[in-house]
Amino acid sequence: MHPGLVLLLALTLGGLVVGCSGEAVGLAPDGTEPAPTVLISGPIEVEIGHELLLRATTEGAEDHGYRWRTGDDRIASVDARGVLTGLFAGEVTITVVGLDSGLSADHTVTVTDASQVGP
């Protein structure tokens, strides 16, 4: 189904419509198409020296790639594929921008120091 299409179900009895249900598929409650958005999925915690993979998806628009950046390159680095490496304990915001749509999203990751964890 595509946004803007209506799914209609009619119940008939002897050729007479006795019930009808309709639903606008992929539309916001007010009937408009939802705004395009970029989403980030992936873990929210990583240890120093370890890596995790973040993934970006675009809904309502099309992107052929993404640009990743870290809010603090002392705490974590992130490469062009969304691979984040924990460098120093702390919290960092990772931002992704869709190359075609220009839409962006943020994802917060906590970098932990396993040597600081008690018994």
> pLDDT tens digits for 8-41?
344 434 444 334 333 334 555 677 778 999 999 9
Mean pLDDT, to the nearest integer, of 61-66?
A: 96
pLDDT digits (tens, 9 = 90+) for 72-85: 999 999 999 999 99
Q: What's the pTM?
A: 0.71
**CATH node for 37-116:** 2.60.40.1080
Domain ranges for the chain: 1-30, 37-116
Query: Which pLDDT score, from 0 to 100, does residue 117 have?
Result: 62
The whole-number pLDDT of residue 15 equals 44
Q: How far apart are alpha carbons 91 and 72 in whole angstroms?
A: 9
